[in-house]
Amino acid sequence: MKWVEVIRLRLADGNMKLTLEASMQRLINGAAGNTGQTPIRVFRREKLASDVCVVLFHKGKKPKTGGSALGLHLAAALMEVGLVNHTVWDEFK
């Protein structure tokens, strides 16, 4: 089964953009090193630089905890810099 986690972040302070970019890259790189086969992509919202979206792509059984350990960790870490919405999506067949 294929499924994804989507973590949307809206920065609390628009001036944090540069700080976030460096921190986010370190956080994602560190997380990617710990995931093995979980591809991670990061997107910025067009015309609204304070919105960031992290997408984790998974294959296999989905955990019952509302997301992977990695996704839950990233969402918790990002809550320190803004509003976070963490959702899990199943592939539509």
On whether the CB atoms of residues 27 and 7 are closer than 8 A, the answer is no
Residue 73 is predicted with a pLDDT of: 86
Domains of the chain: 2-90 (3.30.70.100)
Residue 48 is predicted with a pLDDT of: 81
In our burial notation (b when 16+ CB lie closer than 10 A, e otherwise), range 46-60 reads eeeebbbebbbebee
Instruction: Give percent of the chain with pLDDT exceeding 90.
Output: 22
**Mean pLDDT to the nearest integer, 37-52:** 83
pLDDT at 32 over 70: no
Q: Tell me which residue has tokens 């976070």.
A: 84
Q: What is the largest CA-CA distance in the chain?
A: 42
Query: 49-92, pLDDT tens digit by residue?
Result: 788 899 999 988 887 778 988 888 889 888 888 899 999 998 88
Residue 5 tokens read as 């986690």
